[in-house]
Amino acid sequence: MVVVRDELYVAGRWRRPHGQDELLVHGAANGAVIGIIPDADAVDVDDAVEAAKQAFPAWSTTPLHERLELIRHLEEALTARIDELARTITTEVGTPVRVSRLLQAEAPCRSLAHYRALLPELSLEEKIGSSVVVREPLGVVACITAWNYPLQQLLGKIGAALATGCTTVVKPSEVAPLSAFTVAEAVDEAGFPAGVFNLVTGTAESVGEPLVVHPDVDMVHVTGSTRAGRRIGALAAGTIKRLALELGGKSANVILDDADLAQAVKVGVANCFTNSGQTCTAWTRMLVPHGRLAEVEELVKARVAGYRLGDPLDPATNMGPLVSQRQQEAVRGFIRGALDEGARLVAGGPEQPEETAAGYFVKPTVFSDVTPGMTIAQEEVFGPVLAIMPFDDDDDAIRIANSTIYGLAGGVWSQDTERAGRVARRIRAGQIDINGSFFNAQAPFGGFKQSGIGRELGIHGLLEFYELKSLQYA
């Protein structure tokens, strides 16, 4: 069945777009058309930004408890559609449905509850000498999301923006946009004031760039590739906007010589291959001591052999396809390039998996003897490809971990937690898991270096949406 969405959500109502073009949405498993959405234009962007601008004065001064109550209604409306959201995202992105319900649907909805719990604890005034320093809502926020975790990124942005009193214009990725329409329906059902949330779909050229350069947009909050972040940063400079950029990664999983090797490999492989490797925080570099390289390779091969590729809607599938033919071709290009550069293939390869004659599948692929200068050790592949890299000692491991332009995430393993902590503190990345700790949705999320600017989630994510004002009293 093809889902036809031929309207935008602007100023509290569904309306036909000014732009007359359409975009096709393709399913990841077989490339079939599963949806049709508007390819809006700059006029539609102007209308949405104007609606958000007009709504901002009243919304920013709405009592906090009223804003949070509406967010609670939004959370309830979305939670009632968990199964629908999970199935939609599985079809668009290829995440196995057994994973989608938790990671792609339930967890994003819980982020709204986190904001509701945290915001009342945040002090918005501070006395400094003769000044009172106040935090005020920033204004109109353009929320631009990627396709790999579409609901997580959308709710993470609008949840914080709306809770703090900002108004929003949302541009989802045209590759996986359908869940954003469900969010718009839930916003409407929850009863938010007109103009507080606006949805405009299209490409980077038709909608994304007009939003970024719009003079009445006060902040651009983006999840995307580092290349996209560079482009957005250059465009936003023309009007000196606030930027929050969550971009790419090439995260290192550092397994020290005293680590529980079996557990470190088990968790590390799962982390790398979640969502078929289409995760910005994926630990795509496994750093291991030279003396344990052969042992690690055997453990990794055994884990990889357990992956079952197939229809992501089949509960037995634990690795789905990539999101598109373009992504499949790009990942296969990285695999061929690694072979050309001399990396040793341990598992997988560039060929179509035998069990999937069609669809955008890539074999779970592992290389060893990867050196820091190789392309596969430097560039974000965004597919199920793991690079095993040997190191000499702790200092060498840290040097390798820090040898890319990225600094988003990573892991450190050691039975000596103090040693692991010392290593983790020297890795230039925004979040490091020690001995397989769980993701904390209330801690700040973001990157060092070219992995981004700013932080999402928790109190620190909320603070991104405020301006500071000093009031001096005589």
CATH number at residue 455: 3.40.605.10
pLDDT at 441: 86
Cα 151 from Cα 350, distance rounded (Å): 30
Q: Which domain holds residue 179?
A: 3-247+451-472
Alpha-carbon torsion 145, 173, 50, 3, what sign?
A: negative
Q: Which residues of the chain have pLDDT under 50?
A: none
Q: Mark 298-334 as b/e (b = at least 16 C-beta within 10 Å).
A: ebbeebbeebebbbbbeeebbbbbbbbeebbeebbeb
Is position 393 within any domain? yes
Domain count, the chain: 2
Among 454, 444, 447, 455, smallest CA distance to 250 is for 447
Question: Do residues 209 and 343 share a domain?
Answer: no
**Whether the Cβ atoms of residue 113 and residue 245 lie closer than 8 Å to each other:** no
pLDDT at 83: 95
Is position 455 within any domain? yes
Question: Do residues 334 and 348 share a domain?
Answer: yes
Question: Do residues 77 and 95 share a domain?
Answer: yes
Is position 367 within any domain? yes
Q: What is the pTM of this model?
A: 0.95
Is position 217 within any domain? yes
pLDDT at 71: 97
What pairing do the DSSP bridges indicate for beta strands 125-128 and 131-137? antiparallel
Question: Do residues 341 and 460 share a domain?
Answer: no
CATH at residue 294: 3.40.309.10
Question: Do residues 302 and 225 share a domain?
Answer: no
Residue 88: C-alpha distances to residues 2, 6, 149, 174 (Å): 12, 17, 12, 14
Question: Do residues 240 and 265 share a domain?
Answer: no
pLDDT at 269: 98
Is position 78 within any domain? yes
Instruction: Give the residue numbers marked as catalytic.
Output: 246
Is position 445 within any domain? no
Question: Do residues 184 and 151 share a domain?
Answer: yes
Cα 220 from Cα 243, distance rounded (Å): 5
Among 34, 26, 96, smallest CA distance to 327 is for 26
Question: Do residues 256 and 240 share a domain?
Answer: no
pLDDT at 359: 86
Question: Do residues 436 and 455 share a domain?
Answer: no
Question: Do residues 317 and 435 share a domain?
Answer: yes
Amino acid symbol at 147: W
Question: Do residues 318 and 386 share a domain?
Answer: yes
pLDDT at 30: 87
Question: Do residues 167 and 220 share a domain?
Answer: yes
pLDDT at 127: 95
pLDDT at 358: 81
Cα 68 from Cα 184, distance rounded (Å): 17
Amino acid symbol at 152: Q
